[in-house]
Amino acid sequence: MTITRTLSLAFVLGIGLTLGCGDKEDDTATDDTSVTDDTSSTDDSSADDTGSTELSFSGTVTLTTTEDGAVVCDLDVDLVGTDFTGNCADCDWAFDMEGSAISEDRSSSDCVPYWQLSYLPYSYYTDIFMGHFPAYYGYYGTYYNAFMTGYGIDYSYYYYPGPYWSFNVYYDGSTSGTFSQSGGDISWTWDYAGYDYEDAYYYYCDYFPSSYAYSVYDEGTSGTSDLDCDGLILDVWTFTGDGNTVNLAIDTVGDSTAFDPHFWVNDGDECTVAYADDSFDCTFEPAAYQCPAITFTSNDGEEYQVVVASYGSCNGTEAEYQLNLEIESGDTPTLAYDNVDADIAFPYTIHAEGSGTITGL
C-alpha cells in the first residue's frame, strides 16, 4: 500500500497526474462533459476537408490560476495558428497552434500552464490544436457548437499522431465556458472553481525508506488510541530522538477492534522520513493485511511525529491500536493531535479568456 494526494483540477482538465501514496477519491464535483472522447483520432496524412482556401489564426489568451487564494499562473500567450491540413470532416475550421508563445509571464515558479487552455505544448503533448465543430460525436454523446482543444503526440508514445479532441472549452449547454464568433472574429472564456485535497501531516521532501522491520517492538514504552475504519482521521504522536536507533510498531489490541493500520514518521524539519505498512502479523488479526513496524536512526534532541492512519479491513466498527516505541532514552510517545482530518482542502480557481481573428474565412 502507498499514501496518495488527489489533484482534482488535473481530473477536470483531463490530465493524468499523481503524487505518491494510496488512492483516495476526490470529493470535488466536476463537469464530466468538459473531458470528451480522446480516442477519436484523425490521420494527418489525409486530404484537407476544411476547404481550398488556406486559413490562419492570430490572437491572445490570458490564463490565470489560483491555489488557496494565491496566484500561481498568470500569463498572456500570443496565439498563432496555421490551417490544419489533416482530415477534419466534421469541423468548421481547425488550427495547429505550434507557433504560440508566452508574451508576458507574471506567474509564480510553481506554474505549469494547462495546455488545454494556454495552447502551449506540455510533456509528450507535442502539438496543440484549436477547432470548432457544429456537432462533435464523442464517447459521452454529441456536443453541439463545440469549441475544442486537441492534442497530437509523438509516434514513440502512441500509434496515431492525432489530433485527439479531448477538451471542450465550450459547447451548447456548458456551464464552464463561453464562445462567440462573428465572421472571422472569435472570443471565448473558461472558468472553474474547486478544491484540491492533500494528505494532512504528510510532507514529501526526498526519498525515504518503507518498512523493513518485522517485530512488534513491545519492550519499550507505548500509548493507545482509536481511529475510524475509513481512513478519514489521523492520530499524531510525538517523541524526542536521542541519536540512537528507534524502533516503532503499531499493533492491534482486541479481536473486535482489529483493523489494518499504517503510519509514517516526520522529522523536525517537517519532512516525512519513514513509512511503515504490512510488516508483521498483528496480535489480533484484522480482516486483511498486517501491522506496520519500522526502525531508523534518530537525531539527538529532534522532535518526531508518528502519524497513524487506518486502511480499513476492520473486524468491527471501531479501530483500536497500541503504538510501541523502543528508544534508549526511554522516552514515552505523546498523543499530540487526536482524530484530526486526514485530508486538507485547498480551493483553486482557473480562468482563461481569449480572442482572435481567423483570416481566410
Edge-to-edge strand list for the sheet holding 293-297: 221-227, 319-326, 245-252, 293-297
Dump pLDDT digits (tens) for 128-157.
Answer: 999 999 999 988 899 999 999 999 876 665
**Cα 56 to Cα 341: distance, rounded to the nearest angstrom:** 53
What pLDDT was estimated at residue 220? 94
Q: In the predicted model, is pLDDT for residue 309 greater than 80?
A: yes
The helix/strand/coil state of 55 is coil
Amino acid at 100: S
**Cα 354 to Cα 190: distance, rounded to the nearest angstrom:** 9
Q: What is the pTM of this model?
A: 0.67
Q: Which three cell numbers stand for residue 274?
A: 519513514
Percent of the chain surpassing pLDDT 90: 73
Amino acid at 302: E
Look at 114 and 125; give whichever has higher pLDDT. 114
Q: In the predicted model, is pLDDT for residue 25 greater than 50?
A: no
Average pLDDT, rounded, for the chain: 86
Q: Average pLDDT in the 323-344 region?
A: 96
What pLDDT was estimated at residue 157? 54
What pLDDT was estimated at residue 33? 42
Dump pLDDT digits (tens) for 176-219.
Answer: 999 999 999 999 999 999 999 889 999 999 988 776 788 999 99
Percent of the chain surpassing pLDDT 70: 84
Neighbouring CB atoms inside 10 A of 26's CB total: 19
What pLDDT was estimated at residue 333? 97
**pLDDT band at 19, cuts 50/70/90?**
very low
Dump pLDDT digits (tens) for 222-252.
Answer: 999 999 999 999 999 999 999 999 999 999 9
What pLDDT was estimated at residue 52? 62
Amino acid at 221: T
Q: In the predicted model, is pLDDT for residue 40 greater than 60?
A: no
What pLDDT was estimated at residue 123? 83
The helix/strand/coil state of 247 is strand
**pLDDT band at 61, cuts 50/70/90?**
very high
Q: Which three cell numbers stand for residue 171?
A: 459547447
Look at 199 and 357; give whichever has higher pLDDT. 357
Domain range list for the chain: 8-197+347-359, 201-341
What pLDDT was estimated at residue 11? 38
Q: In the predicted model, is pLDDT for residue 173 greater than 80?
A: yes
What pLDDT was estimated at residue 156? 60
Reply yes or no on domain 201-341 having CATH 3.40.50.300.
no
Q: Average pLDDT in the 275-286 region?
A: 97
What pLDDT was estimated at residue 253? 98
- For residue 66, the cross-strand partners are 71, 349
**pLDDT band at 161, cuts 50/70/90?**
confident
Q: In the predicted model, is pLDDT for residue 35 greater than 50?
A: no
